[in-house]
Every structure is written in structure tokens, then in C-alpha cells.
Amino acid sequence: EIVMTQSPTSLSVSPGDRATLSCRASQSVNTNLAWYQQKPGQSPRLLIYGASTRAPGIPARFSGSGSGTEFTLTISSLQSEDFAVYYCQQYNNWPPKYTFGQGTKLEIK
Amino acid sequence: QVQLQESGPGLVKPSETLSLTCTVSGGSMSSYYWSWIRQPAGKGLEWIGRIYSGGSTNYNPSLKSRVTMSVDTSKNHFSLKLSSVTAADTAIYYCAREVAEASDNWFDPWGQGTLVTVSS
């Protein structure tokens, strides 16, 4: 089973600063990695798929990178609406199974 | 655009069966996988399983013995049954559409989620 580990668990950043969130897979997932943003009381929102492709409507300040086992979500200039929990997600072809990281909570400093 | 809406009882007794339905609007269910994902309060996301529009299923091995999914494309909905529930099954349950392109897979969109509490 592929285990996804996100770091840090929480991150305090000032508005306007850059935030870098990490996600590590226990074995290679190639680029089959997505990122989601979840705000309190809301369902997760797709940000990035294929490790680096922004979903439609997602601002350019969000970028994803990586392949294999190491992935990064970067938010270049934090806005107030970006403070949320972020999850990474991978898909394993066989047996078919999705797993999520445990999440990184991005807090206002 | 496609929208998903979960529905079902918000309270289920221990040892009974949790039953939820996800209604899909704004698009066709054909040629997609449709998933259930849950989230205990304050915790992370767990994939429960998925069903293809044609009816084939894949379940999370950790829940496989208790999960049954079905689909009715004529009514634009799919369903989840989770048997023998315990307090550990208390969570927000989301339905979501799986998108697959060029060997990559992700969920979009998601339903708003429905809280199911297991309690006597």
C-alpha cells in the first residue's frame, strides 16, 4: 500500500509571503498526484492534478511540482482566502485505490 | 456544470446499515467512475470505494467486507451501503466524480458532504 506523508502538519505564514507544502509517497506514483484545498465546513476543492496542472479557475499563485515520490505545492503570495487545510492524493492502478495525505493546515502568522 | 448532492439519514444505530445516495445533476454519469470518500470530524480523508457507470466496483480493502455500491444512471444517482456500523464510522461522507486523463486520476467535483452519526 502506498502511504502519503505530508509535511509540515501545520504552517504559519504571513499574508503576502510564500508557502511551500510537501507530500511524499512511500513508492513512486509518477505524476499521479493531486492537491486539494479544504476550508472549514466545505468540501475539498481541486487545485492541482497530474502533479503540476492547475485546475480550471485556480489562480496562478498556486503551483505544483515533483514526480516519483516527492511533490511540492507552492503558493507564491498568500492571500487571506488561502488559509485552509491542503491534502495531497494519489491513485494506485492495482489494486485500484486512492490514498490521501494527512493534510497540512496553513495558518495566518 | 456537474453538481453532486448527497442524501440519507444523518443518524444510524450501531450494527445497522448506513445508506446514502448521491444525485448527479448537470451532466451525464456515463463513462465515469463515481466515488465515496469520508472524513471523521477533524481528521483526514479516506476513500471508501468507487463504481463505474456500467456498474463495476472497487472498494478500499479496509472496508471491503462491509461496503456495497450501486448505480442507477437512468435516475442519475449512485448509492453507498455500509453495514455493521460502529461509532468509528461517524464522519462526513462525500461523493465525488473521478476524472482520469493520461494516467492521472483525481476527484472533481465533490458533493457538499453529509454528516452521518452512528449512535444509539
| Residue A59 Cα, gap to closest chain B Cα (Å) | 17
Band (pLDDT 50/70/90 cuts) for residue A94 is confident
- Parallel/antiparallel/unpaired status of strands A10-13 and A104-108: parallel
pLDDT (tens digit per residue) in B28-85: 999 999 999 999 999 999 999 999 999 999 999 999 999 999 999 999 999 999 999 9
| Cβ atoms B79, B36 nearer than 8 A | no
> Which residues of chain B lie closer than 8 angstroms to A64, CB-CB?
none
Cross-strand pairs, B118: B12
The full DSSP string for B23-73 is EEESS--TT-EEEEEEE-TTS--EEEEEEETTS-EEE-TTTGGGEEEEEET
Count CB neighbours of B103 within 10 A: 11
pLDDT (tens digit per residue) in A13-43: 999 999 999 999 999 999 999 999 999 999 9
Question: Nearest residue on chain B to A34, judged by CA atoms?
Answer: B106
